[in-house]
Structure 1
Amino acid sequence: MVSEIRILLVDHQSLVRSGIQRLLEDDPQFSVVGEASTGEEAVELARSVKPDVVLMDVQIPGIGGMEATRRICRVCPDTGVVVVTVDVSDPFPAQLLEAGASGYLTKHCDVDEITDAIRAVARGERYISADIAREMALSMLPGKEQSPFDRLSQREMQVMLMVAQGQSVHHISDLLCLSPKTVSTYRYRLYDKLGVDNDVELTHMAIRHGIVTCAAPT
């Protein structure tokens, strides 16, 4: 058994981070070594403190939880990422697991499940909560209505999330280290795959499918 598990908390709400930290510090095996509220902060902190496990909120600002997960898994291969989402019907668990996440939970789970997931991922195992695993299995059944977002690649999903949050092409290109022309190509590919004509229609579709909770301010 790992003698101490060092944890990085990533969530856009400081109250949520504080609550999780208090719950985890009741267990002497856990040590919270850092907190981040954006994707960029998460990557930089993971690089500097080298945690054993990152608890990653999906809906963080900046590069977002998916891109932050991908970068952390690349620069810190010994760090396991446990993604935490609000909704069990979150439409992109497969993309996050493909990005390198080792665990997947909802914020509705109890503290025992959080600690079980952290310990499993710290041992190098995978952990997917039963309710999310069930949703993933049901989504693959014949006749099950598929989300149009299931057709997107990991990178397309990342760009879509950032566009739906109101981020400009140049800002996205800076954050993802892509040329503006490449980002524009992804945007028009998204329009084609999702059957929309502009960013407003794309954002409304993302809201309807629960991928973003509200339109970003303009």
Structure 2
Amino acid sequence: MIRLAIVDDHAIVRAGFREMLNDELGMSIQFEAACAEEAKTLLGQHPCDVLMLDLSLPDQNGIDLLRTVKQRHDETQVLIISSFSEDRYALPMIRSGASGYLCKDCDRNDLINAIHTVAQGRRYISANTAELLAREITGEAEKTAHEQLSEREMQVFIRLAKGESVSQIADVLHLSVKTVSTYRSRLLEKLQLGSNAELATYAHQHGLIFA
């Protein structure tokens, strides 16, 4: 039996997935959550094999929740199901620890196939994502400036862009204020920007802020 969890802040979306999966033999929905904190609490109480995760949540973006799940519940496979384009987000999410990426307009067969694939500990790669990966491996894909940032730089970047202060970021990421300030200076240099306001503008223009 594959134990599932659905994390999405829209009740109608959760209901839609529940309806798609209710009649599927060999699958059981352990819980549903509308925000990151609720998901973390319920996951501690009800272990699951596959967590279906939206990127846009009201209290915390899905990337941070993904990392938390992988740190605390390594046996849980995370399948991102988002309204954001595969072209922009699939590969970064898989690099961050997701086992697969689907758009919300996927059909039922794709969803069932993805769940079975990741439940077996494998990566679910759609045809579109496979093409993106092939282009990257062969050097055909042009990387934007932010795609060349390290994972930690990206974490700091997103938080700065959302208006968090250096001290707030230091506290959340368990870093010193000096270290975060160094990351900020490095980000401004790498992205060729001059202020936090420009960081926020860049993040909005490239669709990097989920909530």
The bucket for the TM-score relative to the shorter chain is 0.7 to 0.9
Unaligned runs of 5+ in 2: none
Q: Structure 1 pair 123/160, CA: closer, same or farther in 2 (3 Å)?
A: same
Residue 86 of structure 2 is matched in structure 1 by: 88
Relative to 1, partners in 2 of residues 1:172 and 1:208: Cα closer, same or farther, differing over 3 Å?
same
The Cα shift of 1:116 comes to 0.8
Task: Give the AA of the match of 1:43.
Answer: K
For residues 168 and 101 of structure 1, what CA distance do their matches in structure 2 show? 28
Distance 1:14 1:159 in 2: 31
| 1:90 counterpart letter in structure 2 | R
Is residue 118 of structure 2 the alignment partner of residue 121 of structure 1?
Answer: yes
Aligned mate of 1:75, from 69, 72, 75: 72
Fraction of identical pairs, as percent: 38
Q: 2:14 aligns with which of 12, 17, 27?
A: 17
Matched, 1:38 2:44: no
Give per-residue Cα distances to partners, 1:155-199, cap 9 Å, x unaligned: 222222233333343443443333444333322222121111122
Letter in 1 for 2:200: T
Distance 2:139 2:97 in 1: 27
CA distance in 1 between counterparts of 2:179 and 2:39 reads 25
Q: Aligned partners of 1:62 and 1:174: how far apart in 2?
A: 17
> 1:38 Cα deviation (Å)?
3.2
Contact 2:4–2:28 (CA under 8 A) maintained in structure 1? yes
The question of 1:186 aligning with 2:183 is answered yes
* Preserved CA contact (<8 Å) 2:4 2:30: yes
Is the CA contact (8 Å cut-off) linking 2:80 and 2:100 kept in structure 1? Answer: yes
The amino acid of 1:23's aligned partner reads M
Q: Which residue among 18, 22, 27 is the counterpart of 2:24?
A: 27
Q: Quick one: which of 141, 145, 165 aligns to 1:148?
A: 145
Give the aligned partner of residue 172 of structure 1: 169
Quick check: 45-54 or 134-143, which moved more? Answer: 134-143
Measured in 2, the distance between the counterparts of 1:7 and 1:88 equals 22
CA gap 1:140/1:55 in 2 versus in 1, 3 angstroms = same
1:141 shift after superposition: 4.1
SS of the residue aligned with 2:88?
coil
**Counterpart residue identity of residue 85, structure 2:** D
Q: 1:31 is matched by which residue type in structure 2?
A: S
- Counterparts in 2 of 1:44 and 1:203: CA distance versus 1, 3 Å: same
The Cα RMSD (Å) is 2.4
Change (3 A) 1:200 1:37: farther
* TM-score in terms of structure 2 length: 0.85
Provide runs of 4+ in structure 1 moved above 6 Å.
none
Q: Deviations over 1:8-59 (max 9, x none)?
A: 1122333222222222213232222222333343333322211110111123
Find out whether 1:5 has 2:19 as its counterpart. Answer: no
Looking at structure 2, the residues matched to 97 and 156 of structure 1 have their Cα atoms a distance apart, in angstroms, of: 17
State whether residues 21 and 27 of structure 2, in contact with CA within 8 Å, keep that contact through their aligned partners in structure 1.
yes
State the distance in 2 between where 1:48 and 1:186 align. 36
Aligned partners of 1:136 and 1:60: how far apart in 2?
27
Structure 2 residue 198 is matched with structure 1 residue 198 = no
1:52 to 18, 36, 49: 49
In structure 2, what is the Cα distance between the partners aligned to 1:181 and 1:44? Answer: 32
**Aligned residue pairs, count:** 210
